[in-house]
C-alpha cells in the first residue's frame, strides 16, 4: 500500500460526461405539478425561465450526458480537483478507518458551485439569453454565477438574503468584481419583496423569498432567464463531475468507499459526490452507506415532511415532491447560510424515502468544533456548511474505532471558509447561538402545504 495523501487525476483523464441518476432509480421520481392545474408540467411551462437545453436535462432519462467541450475547457482551470487521504486527521482521531476527502475549495470562488454555474451560463449563452436573475444565501452561488456570467458576457442580477448581505459583504464585492448587480432580499424591486417589507420592514430574508424575487423578474422579460444553484435535477447532475472524478481517484488509491458523507442545503454538492457511487450501487450492487448531514436549525430531511410543496415563499414555482418544512417556514439565521432552505432536492428526498440515503442533523457548535479539528490536522479551513460533512465523517470514523472496523470513508469538502472567518470568530468567542428550531412554526407552515389529492 502506498502512503500517498494526494490523488491528482491527469487533465486528459477528466470525465467527459455528467451522470444522470434518473436512468438508474429503483422507482421513478414523482412528477412536477403545475401550481394552478395540479397536472404534471411540460417543457413549455418552464420555457420562460430556463433554456431548452437545461429543461431537456431536467427530464432526461439518459445515463450519461456529454459535457460540452467549451465547458470542459473552463473546468480545466481547477478540475480535476484533488482527492486527499486525511492521514493526519486519522491519526488525531486514532481511528481504524481510512478517511478521504474530495476538495472543491480549489475552484475560482472557493466551492463546488462553479461546476454548475459555468454549465448553466454556457447553455444560456447558446440560446441567446442576455440577462440572468438568481438568488443567493451566503453569496457562494451569486459569486460563482457572477464568475460564469463574466466569462460568457451575460448580465446578472443577484437577490441576496438580507442577513447575509449585511453579515458577509465580501461575497457581494466579489459579485461586483465580476460585474454582477447584487440586491438585498427582500427588496423593493419586486411584488413579493414589496409585500413582505410592507408587513415586516425588518424581515431578514430567506432563500425562499429571494427565489420568488428572482423568478418574478425573469418571468416578465423574454431575454431574461432564471438560474438556480441547487435543488433541480440538472443542477445536481452538473455536480456529478465530482463523483465521476472521485471514482477514478479512489481506483488510483486502490480503495473504494464504504461510507460517503456530504452536507445538504439544497442537495447539490452531496449529490455530486454521491450519485455516481449510488449508480454503481443500483447497477452493480456495490454496497455503500451514504450519509447526508444537515443543520439542527433547519432539519429538512430529518424532521420535514415528504410532500408536494412550493420551492419558494411567494408560491410562484411549480410544486415538487420533497422533504420540506413548509415554504412559509423561516429558518433561523445561522452562519451556514447555504444550508438554510425549507426544502430539499426532489432526487435527494426520493432517495432518502427509498432508504438509499441516511440523513443526520448536527448542531452549529459541534460542527465548528469538527471544522477546527479538521483545520488543525489537514491545514484547510472548511466553509461553515462543509463543517457538517466534516462532523459526519469524524463521527463515522469514531464509530469505526469503537467497533474496531477498517472502513473507508469519503466526504465532500465542498468549500473553504476564507470569507466566513466571522463565523469562526463567533465560535471562538462563544457567541454562536444555540440551535433554534421552532417546531411549532414548522408545523404551522406544514399546515399550509398545498392539498394534493
Ligand atoms: C451552497 C453551498 C452549500 C449548500 O448547497 P448544496 O446544494 O446543498 O450543496 C454547501 N456548502 C457550500 C460551501 C456552499 O457554497
Among 427, 359, 411, residue whose Cα is nearest residue 112? 411
Q: In the block, which residue shows the cell 440538472?
A: 234
Of 65-79, 254-268, 350-364, 439-453, give the lowest mean pLDDT range.
439-453
435: Cβ contacts below 8 Å, ≥ 6 apart: 295, 296, 297, 334, 363, 364
C-alpha of residue 295 to centroid of ligand 1, in Å: 12
Q: What's the CA angle centered on 196, arms 192 and 200, to 5 degrees? A: 170
CATH of the domain spanning 4-14+68-110+234-446: 3.40.50.1100
Instruction: Check pLDDT > 90 for residue 160.
Output: yes
> What ligand 1 atom has the least distance to the C-alpha of 270?
9
C-alpha of residue 370 to centroid of ligand 1, in Å: 18
349 lines ligand 1 (CB under 6 A): no
Q: pLDDT for 393-416, tens place per residue?
A: 999 999 999 999 999 999 999 999
Higher pLDDT, 164 or 74: 74
Best residue among 117, 235, 266 to mutate for probing ligand 1, ranked by most atoms within 8 Å of CB? 266
User: Atom 7 in ligand 1: which residue has the minimum CA distance?
Assistant: 268
Q: What is the pLDDT of residue 336?
A: 76
383 lines ligand 1 (CB under 6 A): yes
Q: What's the CA angle centered on 122, arms 116 and 128, to 5 degrees? A: 135
* pLDDT band with cut points at 50, 70 and 90 for residue 453: low
* Radius of gyration, alpha carbons of the chain: 20
Q: What is the pLDDT of residue 312?
A: 87
116 lines ligand 1 (CB under 6 A): no
The full DSSP string for 285-354 is ----EEEEEEETTS-HHHHSEEEEEESSTTS-SPEEEEEES-TT--PPP-S-GGG--SS--HHHHHHHHT
- 3-state class of 250 per DSSP? helix
CA–CA distance, 132 with 30 (Å, rounded to integer):
28
DSSP code for 404? T
Dmax (CA) for the chain in angstroms is: 65
Output the average pLDDT for the chain: 95
- 3-state class of 422 per DSSP? helix
Instruction: Check pLDDT > 70 for residue 381.
Output: yes
Q: What is the pLDDT of residue 327?
A: 92
Partners of residue 415 on adjacent β-strands: 111
pLDDT > 90 in the chain, percent: 89
3-state secondary structure 343-374: CCCHHHHHHHHCCCCEEEEECHHHHHHHHHHH
CA 72 to chain CA mean position, Å: 21
C-alpha of residue 52 to centroid of ligand 1, in Å: 25
Best residue among 139, 161, 338, 390 to mutate for probing ligand 1, ranked by most atoms within 8 Å of CB? 338
Instruction: Check pLDDT > 60 for residue 1.
Output: no
338 lines ligand 1 (CB under 6 A): yes
133's grid cell? 436573475
CA–CA distance, 201 with 184 (Å, rounded to integer):
13
Q: What is the pLDDT of residue 2?
A: 62
Give the residue extent of every domain in the chain. 4-14+68-110+234-446
For the four alpha carbons of 132, 134, 139 and 141, in that order, the dihedral sign comes to negative
Best residue among 145, 230, 243, 371 to mutate for probing ligand 1, ranked by most atoms within 8 Å of CB? 230
* pLDDT band with cut points at 50, 70 and 90 for residue 377: very high
List the helix and strand counts (H, then E) for the chain: 19, 15
207 lines ligand 1 (CB under 6 A): no
* pLDDT band with cut points at 50, 70 and 90 for residue 452: confident
Q: pLDDT for 193-221, tens place per residue?
A: 999 999 999 999 988 899 999 999 999 99
- Decide: 410 and 246 in contact? Cβ < 8 Å: yes
C-alpha of residue 382 to centroid of ligand 1, in Å: 12
Q: pLDDT for 88-131, tens place per residue?
A: 999 999 999 999 999 999 999 999 999 999 999 999 999 999 99
CA–CA distance, 74 with 312 (Å, rounded to integer):
31
113 lines ligand 1 (CB under 6 A): yes
Q: pLDDT for 46-66, tens place per residue?
A: 999 999 999 999 999 999 999
Amino acid at each position: 500500500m502506498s502512503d500517498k495523501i494526494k490523488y491528482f487525476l491527469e487533465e486528459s483523464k477528466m470525465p467527459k460526461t455528467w451522470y444522470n441518476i434518473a436512468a438508474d432509480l429503483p422507482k421513478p421520481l414523482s412528477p412536477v405539478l403545475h401550481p394552478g392545474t395540479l397536472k404534471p408540467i411540460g417543457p413549455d411551462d418552464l420555457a420562460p425561465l430556463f433554456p431548452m437545453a437545461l429543461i431537456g436535462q431536467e427530464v432526461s432519462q439518459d445515463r450519461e450526458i456529454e459535457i460540452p467541450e467549451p465547458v470542459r475547457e473552463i473546468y480545466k482551470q481547477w478540475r480535476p480537483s484533488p482527492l486527499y487521504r486525511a492521514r493526519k486527521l486519522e491519526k488525531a482521531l486514532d481511528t481504524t478507518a481510512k478517511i478521504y476527502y474530495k476538495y472543491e475549495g480549489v475552484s475560482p470562488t472557493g466551492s463546488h458551485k462553479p461546476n454548475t454555474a459555468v454549465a448553466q451560463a454556457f447553455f444560456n449563452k447558446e440560446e441567446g439569453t442576455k440577462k440572468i436573475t438568481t438568488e443567493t444565501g451566503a453569496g457562494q452561488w451569486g459569486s460563482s454565477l457572477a464568475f460564469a456570467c463574466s466569462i460568457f458576457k451575460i448580465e446578472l442580477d443577484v437577490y441576496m438574503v438580507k442577513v447575509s448581505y449585511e453579515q458577509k459583504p465580501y461575497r457581494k464585492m466579489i459579485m461586483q468584481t465580476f460585474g454582477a448587480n447584487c440586491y438585498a432580499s427582500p427588496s423593493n424591486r419586486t411584488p413579493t419583496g414589496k409585500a413582505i417589507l410592507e408587513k415586516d420592514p425588518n424581515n431578514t430574508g430567506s432563500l425562499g423569498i429571494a427565489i420568488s424575487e428572482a423568478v418574478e423578474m425573469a418571468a416578465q422579460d423574454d431575454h431574461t432567464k432564471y438560474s438556480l444553484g441547487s435543488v433541480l435535477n440538472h443542477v445536481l447532475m452538473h455536480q456529478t463531475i465530482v463523483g465521476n472524478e472521485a471514482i477514478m481517484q479512489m481506483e488510483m488509491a486502490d480503495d473504494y468507499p464504504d461510507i460517503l458523507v456530504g452536507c445538504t442545503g439544497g442537495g447539490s454538492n452531496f449529490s455530486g459526490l454521491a450519485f455516481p457511487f449510488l449508480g454503481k450501487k443500483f447497477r452493480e450492487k456495490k454496497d455503500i452507506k451514504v450519509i447526508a448531514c444537515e443543520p439542527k436549525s433547519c432539519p429538512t430531511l430529518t424532521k420535514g415532511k415528504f410532500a408536494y410543496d412550493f420551492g419558494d415563499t411567494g408560491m410562484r414555482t411549480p410544486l415538487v415532491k420533497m422533504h420540506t418544512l413548509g415554504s412559509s417556514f423561516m429558518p433561523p439565521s445561522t452562519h451556514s447560510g447555504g444550508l438554510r432552505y425549507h426544502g430539499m432536492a426532489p432526487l435527494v428526498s426520493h432517495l432518502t424515502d427509498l432508504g438509499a440515503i441516511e440523513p443526520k442533523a448536527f448542531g452549529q457548535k459541534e460542527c465548528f468544533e469538527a471544522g477546527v479539528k479538521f483545520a488543525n490536522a489537514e491545514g484547510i479551513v472548511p466553509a461553515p456548511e462543509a463543517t457538517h460533512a466534516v462532523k459526519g465523517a469524524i463521527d463515522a470514523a469514531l464509530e469505526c474505532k469503537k467497533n474496531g472496523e477498517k472502513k473507508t470513508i469519503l466526504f465532500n469538502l465542498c468549500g473553504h471558509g476564507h470569507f466566513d472567518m466571522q463565523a469562526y470568530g463567533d465560535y471562538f468567542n462563544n457567541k454562536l447561538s444555540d440551535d433554534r428550531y421552532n417546531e411549532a412554526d414548522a408545523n404551522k407552515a406544514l399546515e399550509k402545504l398545498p392539498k394534493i389529492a
